[in-house]
Structure 1
């Protein structure tokens, strides 16, 4: 059971593919379809949650997944001898699992990148507990957009022993899982940040190699965190400022940031998130004044 062509289930992330349910029903195939939010307190969001599909041999869905990067970006393949209802009930246990810190937020496990990081965090004996009736899973993680020549990474996870007893709390996330999920989020946020900065100015990264882009993004995010920024909005503003004024704008003794502090010394005592917002207003004003002068 080493080839994804032998899979008989698909797990689709409805948030990444919001038209999934409609398109599946329009195929006219004898598919069994089970939105995993169905019958839960998130029932009204079932279109945007994980969707489990039983695809038997008459369906072309599995072969389409193998040939389509679009399918691979929002769908995992599974093989299980168990019926759809049993597989669905197993995965529902992970919709909002408790964690060791007392949280129980929604777990986007149908997102292939999240699933990859999450499953990779378990030792083999616990992985079998997590996979339950699923004997093997295939996940194709695409490379970052700035590595277009890298091949997608096909990873498979397999069940070591379907008969072993469940000796651990199945759905509780330990610190290892929380770390893995944070890594998955970091991967995705870097991708979103890169895409946003390219939309803002297509020339932003034209002179950098793939390795240099990776280092730049990592440095910008880590320096923003070190400055005290946490929210996505604040980190995006920080990255934009790094593009416009240089990565060292906050530490240079002379430059626009220091000019702003000289003009507004009271801003130095603002909390980091408020300070970057205020700085953004100043930066936007300067950019607007520069554009007007060029006109």
Structure 2
């Protein structure tokens, strides 16, 4: 098996270390996050955002804000070494640390456009990218006291920077933040993009020769379109999309687009989408390994 060598991502050179700099980590993405944090740094300053809220019993899956003070911070070093796993993102603020914690704790639970209360997976980089990169909705309330949010890009080889250009709004945490329908649609799209990022890492590791002439960003875009095609054919589950991509990795795009047996299995009159994709996957393996 061929694997892809990964090197730690370099931290941006211009982070304001004299200000409050936090690393917001997703405990859903990183199992046993709290024990790991203290194993990496026994003096770590960490704020589980669900503490002091009605979700305190969910402490094990609570997003955690970690105070980082330099590029050599042990937790930051671990984070950068696993950049492609999208554990979280960096936040910078001139405001006191406590204000940043209070703001993020407030955003950890929000209202759905229907008015129902829900938890926001606030530490997920895809969520931050979707909401803070929105050009149709004011993001000042989402930024709060945070001036800059630095998120690893979907490929895991660079950074996306989001900056609050207006004055920080006066904090009002008396009511939950309510998403608009537009923002909800952005989060749904972000979920799909996050899946494609995970698929990109999978294909890079197990099928490194697939579309190897493309740049990393072109390859990500190609896999995004591939996943969209699978979904358009009714194969919209993550498992089906991954099987579809694996088949392309085994046989190549030309065979997948021309082979009569595969084209027949993609026809809608065949069995359920899940059954069709398992048949396609088995057929691709037989053709690749006769």
TM-score with structure 2 setting the length: 0.72
Partner of 1:275: 273
- Matched-pair contact (CA < 8 Å) for 1:97–1:171: yes
Larger RCO, structures 1/2 (Cα 8 Å, 6+ apart): 2
Partners of 2:171 and 2:28 lie apart in 1 by: 34
Which ranges of structure 2 fall in alignment gaps of 5 or more residues? 1-13
Contact 1:78 1:136 in 2 (8 A): yes
**Cα distance 1:161–1:93, how it changes in 2: closer, same or farther (>3 A)?**
same
Judged with a 3 Å threshold, the aligned counterparts in structure 2 of structure 1 residues 248 and 101 are, in CA distance, closer, same or farther, namely farther
Distance in 2 of aligned mates of 1:290 and 1:71: 32
Q: Is the 8 A contact 1:13 1:49 kept in 2?
A: yes
Task: Give the aligned CA root-mean-square deviation in angstroms.
Answer: 4.0
Report the Cα offset of residue 36 of structure 1. 0.9
Aligned residues: 271
TM-score (norm 1): 0.71
1:226 aligns with 232
Going from structure 1 to structure 2, the CA distance change for 1:282 and 1:250 (only over 3 Å counts) comes to: closer
Alignment of 1:14-25 (within 5 A): 14-18=27-31, 20-25=33-38
Deviation of residue 35 (structure 1)?
A: 0.4
How big is the shift at 1:108?
1.9
Shift of 1:68: 6.8
Partner of 1:171: 177
* Structure having the higher Rg: 1
Aligned to 1:127: 139
With over 3 angstroms needed to count, the CA separation of the structure-2 counterparts of 1:157 and 1:19, relative to structure 1, is farther
Specify the alignment match of 2:90 in structure 1: 76
- Do the aligned residues in 2 keep the contact of 1:4 with 1:77 (CA within 8 Å)? no
The answer as to whether partners of 1:76 and 1:112 remain within 8 angstroms in 2 is no
CA distance in 1, matches of 2:92, 2:270: 53
**Structure 1 residues 78-132: Cα deviation after superposition (integer angstroms, max 9, x where no partner):** 3253452x543432332232222456543222233421321222668x4332233
Aligned twin of 1:142: 153
From the superposition, tell whether residues 229 and 169 of structure 1 become closer, same or farther in structure 2 (CA, over 3 Å): farther
Note if 1:287 corresponds to 2:285. Answer: yes
Q: Deviations over 1:192-231 (max 9, x none)?
A: 1122234443332334444652443132122112212321
1:257 aligns with 2:262: yes
Paired residues for 1:31-46 under 5 Å:
32-40=45-53, 42-46=55-59
In 2, the alpha carbon distance for the partners of 1:201 and 1:109 equals 32
